[in-house]
Amino acid sequence: DIVMTQTPLSSPVTLGQPASISCRSSQSLVHSDGSAYLTWLHQRPGQPPRLLIYKISNRFPGVPDRFSGSGAGTDFTLKISRVEAEDVGVYYCMQTTQFPFTFGPGTKVDIK
Amino acid sequence: EVQLVESGGGLVQPGGSLRLSCVASGFTFSDYEMTWVRQTPGKGLEWVSYISSGDNDIYYADSVKGRFTISRDNAKSSLFLQMNSLRAEDTAIYYCARRFEYWGQGTLVTVSS
């Protein structure tokens, strides 16, 4: 199974400042079709997760452009250019390159 | 508007069974693969099962293989998860999701005597 790790696990951030979360996979996420199926999700307290980014860097429709994803191979990053109050919650990376699909442990983002 | 509504959760004794349902609307259900994901209260996310659009391909997490069965009824825009031989560690909120793009609100399954 592909193991997903995230750093940091907790991130107090200042409103209006940037934030960054790293995600690493235990093996390459490049699929045989050439794409890397690395996804970022955001979960607010008491809510289901929602999709932010798919295939490393593609923003899902409706996701603000302050969110961006980057990376390749086994190392990936989610960046928030200027944190807003609604961005608090837990961020998960996950891979859907191969079964079983696996999630990172989550990074809790809250406001300082 | 895409909507996914789960139901069927509840309290069940260890060794018991439950059948979860997920009714979809706002899109052509038969065009999309679907998944079940669970979340232990206060903990992270765990993928449970996947079914392709035509149910040709089905996969399970090792933790549920042989006990859970995923199925779908495209005519009724519905996804199901039959859960047998339930254990305490299956206690979680169960979400259905369309390709992880859209998620339901979840249904809570509690396995306890």
B102 forms beta bridges with B98
Which one of A58, A91, A99 would you mutate to disrupt binding with B, by most B Cβ within 10 Å of its Cβ?
A: A99
Q: Residue B20's CB: how many other CB atoms inside 10 A? A: 23
- Which chain B positions have a beta carbon within 8 Å of A41's beta carbon? 45, 100
Give the chain B residue whose CA is nearest to the CA of A47.
B105
Compute, in degrees rounded to 10, the torsion defined by CA atoms B98, A46, A38, B20: -40
Query: From the CA of B65, how many Å to the nearest CA of chain A?
Result: 11
H or E segment at B18? strand B18-25
How close B15 gets to chain A, by Cα (Å)? 25
Residue B42: pLDDT above 80? no
Q: Which residues of A touch B61 (CB under 8 A)?
A: 100
- Is the CB of A50 less than 8 angstroms away from the CB of B103? yes
Would you state the structure tokens that stand for residue B73, as one six-digit string? 């009824």
Q: How far apart are CA A12 and CA B85, in angstroms?
A: 42
CB pairs under 8 A between A and B: 44
pLDDT at B49 over 90: yes
- Evaluate whether A83 touches A16 at the Cβ level (below 8 Å): yes
Q: Could you report the per-residue pLDDT of B10-34, keeping only the tens digit for each?
A: 999 999 999 999 999 999 999 999 9
In this complex, which of A51, A99, A106 lies closest to B44 when CB atoms are compared? A106
List pLDDT tens digits, range A33-52: 999 999 999 999 999 999 99
Which residues fall within 8 angstroms of residue A62, CB to CB, at 6 or more apart? none
| Any A CB within 8 A of B46 CB | yes
How many angstroms separate the CA atoms of B3 and B81, rounded? 18
Our CA-based measurement puts residue A6 at a distance from the nearest CA of chain B, in whole angstroms, of 12
User: What pLDDT is stored for residue B43 in this prediction?
Assistant: 80
pLDDT for position B34: 98
B57–chain A nearest CA distance, Å: 11
| Cα–Cα distance list, B52 to B16, B28, B35, B74, B99 (Å) | 27, 14, 9, 11, 10
Split chain A (112 residues) into runs of 10 and give each run's mean pLDDT. Answer: 97 96 97 95 96 98 97 97 97 98 97 92
